[in-house]
Chain A
Amino acid sequence: MEEIFNLFHGFAVVLQPYNIMVMAIGILLGVIIGVLPGLGGANGVAILLPLTFSMSPTSAIIMLSCIYWGALFGGAITSVLFNIPGEPWSVATTFDGHPMAQQGRAGEALTAAFTSSFIGALFSVVVITLVAPLVASFALRFGPAEQFGVYFLAFASFIGLSKEPPMKTVAAMMMGFALGAVGLDQMTGQLRLTFGFTPLLSGFDFLIAVIGLFGIGEILLTMEEGLRFKGRAAVINPKVVWETWKTLPKFWMTYARSCVIGCWMGITPAGATPASFMSYGIAKRLSKNGRNFGNGEIEGVVAPETAAHAAGKAALLPMLALGVPGSPTAAVLLGGLLIWGLQPGPMLFIEHKEFVWGLIASMYMGNVFGLLIVLTCVPFFAAILRIPFPIIAPIILVFCAIGSYSVHNNVFDVMMMMVFGVLGYFLKKTNYPLAPLVLAIVLGDKAEESFRQSLLASQGSLGIFFSNGLVGTIMVLGFIALFWSLIQEAWSRFRPATAA
């Protein structure tokens, strides 16, 4: 009950006119940041942090967290329109979102993406409100072995079934792992695969690979096919939001599943990106339309977006309660808290109640505002596809270059982006799947790190991955997911036999 009272108090704080204004500005800035590759949420939050020093801590954190929410919304826009994920967690959104745009259904895809983000986020916020202390203690149970289990599960549920030839999937995925391994080995402090070449010190950033493989690759494919984004035929219909909303309730099961996956992945804290991939993979297996995923299935937008945002919100809780940031953006927010003299950690909930509940209330309100703002912009975003290709293509290219550059402030990365672009074109045309490659780059080094940390702790014994109920369950679920198609086949053979 005390929580509810605190929350209402938080609403009272947030609903002051000044804070509402701050929230709206934050969301708008966030959307801009999310749309422009090169301005990540972390970037925007970091740069605006000093500007918020003149505000009260509560207003300041409301503004900064709203930038974060806005960026989460904004990431979906470029994914759908140009096949360029503005943020890592919107990669899975491109799989069906961009084909929808090519079919002239960009408005529909964007509406579905925004609405799903909203629902996922709302679910997580409710969870945070109700069980915050429980959640924090659950997060504490995650040591290296459990972390590895979670990555393994995310991976296993995304791989498994693929339309592409299996050997090509293996080659693409392993290539991703190898690329992810370039740079400094976190565990031994040794440089590997750099061959003494300085620009390789920082390795291949996931974002550069994605911008190249997806964004530039897409431009090249479009050139080959005759110079136009197929989405050009899109009729811009102001009613598209309403029309799409009517179709969404039938995906309630996907929503429920994705909310749970996202929230769980956010707390653990594996983060929004694995959550979106995992949710997409599971939806693909369990949906009636699973076979059509990848060709513009609205459910393929709903699943990753819901999970990504549920995870994005849920990740904030471990940060506040434990002081461990779930994402780079959260890390900068954390730094911001310190500057205001708010020490994140267990004591924050006790000593700065007003602040914490103001923040939680702002999550509710920020989401509602965010949804309203981005939904009114859907027709406008969809209209961008009407700009003729010879104008928009070089502009996209320029923003891809800026985005790649600003990852490490390095021109070498821009060159790598072009290389990845050409590579993406050839791989796509020869039926190598790009998604496992990208997922391997994202998760590869983290998974390797937690795997080796676990083995250090267990002194080389693999038994640590089954050493307690939690990690054992996660690993078993992972293996089930990995061999799902085999299990399914065995099951369907077994069934007729018993029936007969």
Chain B
Amino acid sequence: MKSSFYRYSLALAGLGAAAMLAPSMPAQAAWEPTRPVEFIIPAGTGGGADQMARTIQGIVSKHNLMKQPILPINKSGGAGGEGFLDVKGSDGNPHKIIITLSNLFTTPLATGIPFNWKDITPVAMLALDEFVLWVNAEKPYKNVKEYIDAAKAANGTFKMAGTGAKQEDQIITEAVQKSSGAKFIYIPQKGGGAVAVQLVGNHVDSTVNNPIEAVSHWRGGKLRPLCVFDGQPMPHKEQVADGKAWSDIPTCKSQGLDMEYLMLRGIFTTPGASKEVVDFYIDLFKKVRATPEWEAFMKSGAFNTTFMTGDAFVKWVAAAEKTHMGLMKDAGFLAK
């Protein structure tokens, strides 16, 4: 990890650049998996992390990027705690990697299970997932201000649905409350797809779904995006629905909701993994990122395609942990 060669972020640098870099990997870093690589998913089947892991599996096998297959295994118990503890306990097994989402931070903080991201070895940040504030298209509010006014007028009966409890969706909800002064009832659901459908069916008033979870309903004219919880608008300029593109959605900050939140889609491996092992996986994911399938996947989910490895990634994760600590402390979500 001390290698300075990859110590920069390829933030939004385009996939071509990654493709050019990949073959320049030093040839002597010759570790290769000798048996199938277990790809732990600390979330259930069908969710965002699961979709990404299975897409990676498909890309690796289709383009023959690795001699051994990748085996996605869902270990979703205890809000992903099961998966993290499994990787933590597989000291020195190089044939195991894990895809992370925000529960890398939230699960140990909320449940008190004995785990911290420093227990496992960081490999790379694959992408960042955006969060968008959605409302039902039948509702009259067209922008954040009208929405917040309606929420205030509802006097604490405005319902926000999200995935899980004390996880990213609820953290964002808390931050929205704090920033706007409106009160919401947060209703936890099992998965992002179910959350979006609850909104389409008008059982709740708003959600903070990831783009990929709600895009189809947007295109079907059922949902309306109000703002994105990011520092700048999303870069994807292709038209998606009612003449709008992802890039047309304003940032929440510009609309007076002071909240930024991005979810890590990163890769970690087992504790004590050697530099050769980490380099192999970094190289593998660079190759994955250079495929057209990955590009299509990123576009369909309006992902933020920041890629980081090495120290830059470690720094990012450490900062994100701090942010989560603060947010969860403010919300009173820390385990007693």
Point out residues on A near B: beta carbons under 8 Å: 42, 46-47, 49-51, 53-54, 140-144, 183-191, 194, 198, 201-203, 322-325, 328, 330-332, 334-336, 338-339, 341, 343-348, 408-409, 449, 453, 456-457, 459
Give 15 A-B contacts (CB < 8 Å), ordered by A residue: A50-B57, A140-B201, A183-B77, A187-B165, A190-B165, A191-B111, A194-B78, A323-B216, A323-B217, A324-B197, A338-B297, A345-B216, A345-B219, A346-B219, A449-B190
Query: Nearest Cβ distance between residue A123 and chain B, in whole angstroms?
Result: 25
Q: How many pairs of A and B residues are in contact by the CB < 8 Å rule?
A: 164
Please pick, from A185, A343, A409, A459, the residue contacting B215 in the complex, using a CB distance under 8 A.
A343
The verdict on B50 contacting chain A, using a C-beta distance below 8 Å, is yes
Whether B220 lies near A341 (C-beta < 8 A) is no
The verdict on B51 contacting chain A, using a C-beta distance below 8 Å, is yes
Surface stretch bound by A, among B5-13, B122-130, B181-189: B181-189
Q: How far is the CA of A187 from the CA of B110 in the complex (A)?
A: 13
Residues of B within 8 A of A54 (CB): 62
Whether B46 lies near A335 (C-beta < 8 A) is yes
Point out residues on B near A: beta carbons under 8 Å: 44-46, 50-51, 54-55, 57-58, 61-62, 71-73, 75-79, 81-82, 85-86, 110-113, 157, 159, 164-167, 170, 185-191, 193-194, 196-198, 200-201, 203-204, 212-213, 215-217, 219-222, 293, 296-297, 300, 333
Whether A201 lies near B187 (C-beta < 8 A) is no
Contacts A187-B165, A198-B85, A347-B219; A457 near B187 (Cβ below 8 A): yes
Q: How far is the CA of A191 from the CA of B111 in the complex (A)?
A: 6
Please pick, from A51, A324, A348, the residue contacting B193 in the complex, using a CB distance under 8 A.
A324
Whether B75 lies near A408 (C-beta < 8 A) is yes
Known interface pairs A408-B75, A457-B204; 11 further A-B residue pairs with C-beta atoms within 8 A, sorted by A's residue number: A49-B57, A184-B77, A188-B166, A189-B333, A190-B111, A201-B81, A202-B77, A335-B45, A338-B297, A339-B58, A343-B216
Residues of A within 8 A of B297 (CB): 338-339
Q: How far is the CA of A39 from the CA of B144 in the complex (A)?
A: 47
Please pick, from B55, B113, B201, B221, the residue contacting A201 in the complex, using a CB distance under 8 A.
B113
Query: Nearest Cβ distance between residue A337 and chain B, in whole angstroms?
Result: 10
Whose C-beta in chain B lies nearest to the C-beta of A47?
Answer: B71
Query: Nearest Cβ distance between residue B327 and chain A, in whole angstroms?
Result: 14
Q: How far is the CA of A459 from the CA of B157 in the complex (A)?
A: 8
Residues of A within 8 A of B81 (CB): 184, 201
Q: How far is the CA of A184 from the CA of B75 in the complex (A)?
A: 13
Contacts A184-B77, A453-B188; A141 near B201 (Cβ below 8 A): yes
Whose C-beta in chain B lies nearest to the C-beta of A346?
Answer: B220
Query: Nearest Cβ distance between residue B27 and chain A, in whole angstroms?
Result: 28
Query: Nearest Cβ distance between residue A444 and chain B, in whole angstroms?
Result: 15
Query: Nearest Cβ distance between residue B69 and chain A, in whole angstroms?
Result: 8
Q: How far is the CA of A191 from the CA of B293 in the complex (A)?
A: 39
Q: How far is the CA of A315 from the CA of B22 in the complex (A)?
A: 43
Query: Nearest Cβ distance between residue B83 and chain A, in whole angstroms?
Result: 10
Whether B188 lies near A186 (C-beta < 8 A) is yes
Residues of B within 8 A of A201 (CB): 77-78, 81-82, 85, 113
Please pick, from A187, A334, A408, the residue contacting B82 in the complex, using a CB distance under 8 A.
A408
Query: Nearest Cβ distance between residue A412 and chain B, in whole angstroms?
Result: 11
Q: How far is the CA of A332 from the CA of B203 in the complex (A)?
A: 26
Q: How far is the CA of A141 from the CA of B188 in the complex (A)?
A: 18
For the complex of A and B, the 4 pairs showing the least CB-CB separation, nearest first, are A202-B77, A345-B216, A331-B46, A201-B78
